[in-house]
């Protein structure tokens, strides 16, 4: 220890050596280290890109599955109980167990994480889609039928636009929670920023822990702001009301 400290002091005394690059190495191992960002920029970018890809595909897949399930659930109280109960049971399955159940079918691939996270979004998305559609006033539906709208046209032109704010609220919650859950995918080798966290925690690599954590938070905020802007774009009547 004394020899290492003496060596570090010697390096610091040499003006020709950039000792700032020692801020993430022993014995410094600082939490904040700009040199780490430049030295590991390629690795950080790769894992960030994977994190974004898994999040987007998982939420989109979950939405594609949740929409018909919500339409099925609103047919009757028994159907609603079955669909909502099943999605809740799925959400209670620990992620490690979920990935283990999928491994025989998907192998160690990103789809193991994508399918698992898509199933987790169902409990949020199905409930919000169902709640949004159920909140459409009956008199509005009757007006649509009076204009000659059939079930499909009524759904697309009347119910979905009015239910969109509630649906988008659920989509925002599902997306933000998925950003956090992607990190768990590191246990099967496909966790985006979670892989950086897993490796950094094992080696007490403070700069990498802080960088991956902050990027996860920023990514969640970015997705939330993007979805909120999309909601405002597709619901101009709400902007006019405000």
Which is it for the CA torsion 165, 170, 176, 182, positive or negative? negative
Question: Per-residue pLDDT tens for 26-56?
Answer: 777 778 888 888 888 899 899 999 999 999 9
Task: Specify the residue for token string 């109980």.
Answer: 81
Q: Which residues of 81-119 are buried (b: 16+ CB within 10 A; e: fewer)?
A: eebbeebeeeeeeebeebbeebeeebeeebbbbbbbbbb
In order along its 242 residues, the chain shows pLDDT tens digits of 444 344 344 334 433 334 456 777 777 777 888 888 888 889 989 999 999 999 999 999 999 999 999 999 988 888 889 999 999 999 999 988 999 899 889 888 899 999 999 999 999 999 999 999 988 888 888 888 888 888 888 888 888 888 999 999 999 999 999 999 999 998 888 888 989 888 888 888 888 889 999 999 999 999 999 999 998 888 776 665 55
Which is it for the CA torsion 171, 230, 135, 72, positive or negative? negative
User: Which homologous superfamily is 40-235 in?
Assistant: MetI-like (1.10.3720.10)
Helical pair 95-106 and 110-134, crossing angle rounded to 10 deg: 120
Report the first-to-last Cα separation within the chain, whole angstroms.
Answer: 64
Task: Specify the residue for token string 């909140």.
Answer: 135
Q: Tell me, what DSSP letter sits at residue 225?
A: H
Q: Domains of the chain: which residue ranges?
A: 40-235
């Amino acid at each position: 220890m004394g020899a290492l400290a003496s060596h570090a002091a010697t390096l610091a005394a040499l003006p020709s050596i950039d000792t700032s690059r020692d801020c993430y190495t022993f014995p410094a191992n600082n939490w904040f280290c700009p040199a780490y960002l430049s030295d590991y920029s390629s690795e950080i970018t790769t894992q960030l890109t994977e994190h974004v890809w898994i999040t987007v595909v998982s939420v989109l897949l979950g939405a594609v599955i949740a929409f018909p399930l919500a339409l099925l659930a609103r047919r009757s109280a028994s159907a609603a109980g079955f669909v909502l109960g099943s999605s809740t049971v799925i959400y209670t399955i620990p992620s490690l167990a979920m990935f283990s159940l999928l491994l025989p079918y998907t192998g160690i691939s990103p789809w193991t994480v994508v399918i698992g996270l898509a199933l987790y979004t169902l409990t949020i998305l199905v409930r919000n889609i169902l709640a949004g559609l159920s909140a459409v006033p009956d008199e509005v539906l009757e007006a649509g039928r009076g204009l000659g709208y059939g079930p499909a046209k009524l759904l697309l032109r009347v119910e979905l636009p009015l239910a969109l704010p509630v649906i988008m609220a659920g989509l925002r919650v599902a997306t933000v929670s998925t950003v956090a859950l992607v990190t768990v995918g590191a246990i099967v080798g496909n966790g985006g920023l979670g892989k950086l966290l897993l490796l950094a925690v094992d080696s007490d690599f403070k700069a990498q822990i802080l960088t991956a954590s902050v990027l996860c938070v920023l990514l969640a905020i970015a997705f939330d702001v993007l979805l909120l802007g999309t909601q405002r774009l597709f619901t101009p009547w709400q902007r006019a009301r405000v």
